[in-house]
Amino acid sequence: MKVIVTSFLLFTSIYCFSQKPAKLTHPYALLSGGVYKFDKQDATYQYGCSVGGTFNLISFGVGLKYTKFKADKNAYIPVYVEFIAAPQTTVAPVIIARLGYGNYENKVKAGNTTVTTNGGLYLEFQIGVALGKPPHQIVLSIGYARATFQTIIGSTNSHTDTGGLSATVGLKI
């Protein structure tokens, strides 16, 4: 396995350095809203924004989302890096990947013990379509999102995660 990974990294590095440097074609801002159906949770609504730059076919950016679970008073706010792959055409297929950290904290007192739940890794992968003349486009996508949490009960730590389907509508400007 090490040989495969090392060979892949070496080949990728050589290939990348042999190409022309990517030029920033335009900056972007993506405003989005969607419905998420996580495991063990009612459907939740999520609103987000991200900013970044488009280099040929790939856009790189940073963003955050506001998520409110129906059964919880606290908000879950993932902060992430974003990768968007899409040709710069009027109707284009889109692949979106987001990786980051979900900010969350919930403390509950149970007798003499405090149960603390904190956020953790956030991962999202979506496919869809971008409509409109670049850089101003409407982005429709569906995919999968996963969030992890750390629960601390006294001196015991445990990790849980939840994941599910997502459907998002965004405006890329």
- Tens digit of each residue's pLDDT (9 = 90 or more) over 43-98: 688 899 999 998 878 899 999 999 887 778 889 999 999 999 998 889 999 999 99
Q: Residue 5 has what DSSP assignment? A: H
What distance in Å separates the CA atoms of residue 145 and residue 148, rounded to the nearest whole number?
Answer: 10
What are the phi and psi torsion angles at 23 (to 5°)? Answer: -110, 145
Asked if 134 and 102 count as a contact pair (C-beta separation under 8 A), the reply is no
In CATH, 22-172 is 3.40.50.2300: no
Q: Show the tokens assigned to 62.
A: 């940073």
State the pLDDT at residue 55. Answer: 84
**Closest to 146 (Cα-Cα) out of 85, 101, 86:** 101
Q: Which amino acid, one-letter code, is at 92? A: A
Q: What is the pTM of this model?
A: 0.81
How far is CA 33 from each of CA 142, 166, 169, rounded to the nearest angstrom? Answer: 12, 10, 6
Does 102 or 11 have the greater pLDDT score? 102
Q: Which amino acid, one-letter code, is at 154? A: G
